[in-house]
Amino acid sequence: MNNPTITNKILYWYDNNKRLLPWRKKNSQIKREYYTLVSEFMLQQTQVSTVIPYFKKFIKNIPNFETLANTNEKKLLKYWEGLGYYSRVRNLKKTAKIVVSKYKKKLPNTLEKLKALPGIGDYTASAILSIVFNKSFIPLDGNVERIIKRILNLKSEKETSKKNIINKKKFLGTSNRSSDYAQALMELGALICKPKNPHCTKCPIIKNCISYKKNDFDIASKNKKKIDKFFIVKVFKRGNKILLIKNNKFKFLKNFKIFPMEEIKKPQNLNNSLNLKMSNMNMNINIKRIKEFSNISNGSWIDQTKFNQYTLPTFTKKIFASLNKSL
């Protein structure tokens, strides 16, 4: 079922209100493919405002598929440093290598072939097909899901199931401007139909929205509650150097260096703990300085004065910053 009225309203709003994002600039087809791929990988679980400076730096230093495919991992991780979820950039490089070797430096333009590439699932494949190739796909990210839930006032577990949302998205219709329409929907969700305090009076489809008519804007949340975990971080010093070890605790920080640490039960006193909010947990950290130590086989001594020159996880740098404040 097509809904031209809704489609046209959203596109008109988008034409007059879209953000000027660096990956949206008019470019050659090959740049459009590359810029869209990089931005979509970066935007996975990361906000647009955070991504923009990283994207600009990344593109400046790694401007195309071939350069990406041939960039060594150490340099690649340095350009990604601070964005987290480092498996994304590793998969991005793997995808670039396949694109260069198998597809003549061009992205494939079918759902099946795109989903066969590392790090690309239904959403990213749909986003690429619509944005890059103007195919009639509506990428179903959190923003678009929220619009569907609100406009149709979907509440129950059955109504808000992924299967039902996919079925209901046809209510949004299609457009021969598929590239713009996909981005318009994501933009509408990000700027207007926000999770909390939506700007309903600025919404182009307010008259079509059942939730607005019912004055009922709450969205059933599927977010998993983050668990609290507690750690002791052991700080070994030798002159101006601090000991870091190769990570074997956290899968998402493969091969990175971290402070020696051990998980503990919840302590009675949390007053002096450092709290770091991670993607899947709240880390509560007590820092313990160790004067005597034995040799650690997977350890490296890092010069404190050159700490920022190393490619390190964000939470390692935050622990170091906290350590410096307490010295």
pLDDT of residue 5: 87
Q: Is 40 a catalytic residue?
A: yes
Residues of each domain in the chain carrying CATH 3.90.79.10: 227-326
Distance CA 168, CA 158 (A): 12
Tens place of pLDDT for every residue, the chain, 327 residues?
456 689 999 999 999 999 999 999 888 999 999 999 999 999 998 899 999 999 999 999 999 999 999 999 989 998 998 888 888 999 999 999 999 999 999 999 999 999 999 999 999 999 999 999 999 999 999 999 999 999 999 999 899 999 999 999 999 999 999 999 999 999 999 999 999 999 999 999 999 999 999 998 887 655 567 788 888 888 888 888 888 888 877 776 777 888 888 888 887 666 667 887 776 778 888 888 887 666 677 788 888 888 877 888 888 888 888 877 665
Cα-Cα-Cα-Cα dihedral sign, residues 118, 121, 125, 131: negative
Give the pairing type, strands 274-277 and 227-238: unpaired
Q: Domain 4-214: which topology? A: Endonuclease III; domain 1 (1.10.340)
pLDDT of residue 48: 95
Q: Which class does domain 227-326 fall in?
A: alpha beta
**Of all helices (H) and strands (E), which one includes residue 79?**
helix 73-80
Is the distance from CB of 79 to CB of 62 less than 8 angstroms?
A: yes
Distance CA 296, CA 309 (A): 23
Going by C-alpha positions, the residue among 239, 231, 248, 263 that lies closest to residue 296 is: 248
Residues of each domain in the chain carrying CATH 1.10.340.30: 4-214
Catalytic residue among 33, 40, 81, 145: 40
Distance CA 6, CA 249 (A): 49
Left, alpha or beta for 119 (phi > 0: left; psi -120 to 50: alpha)?
A: left
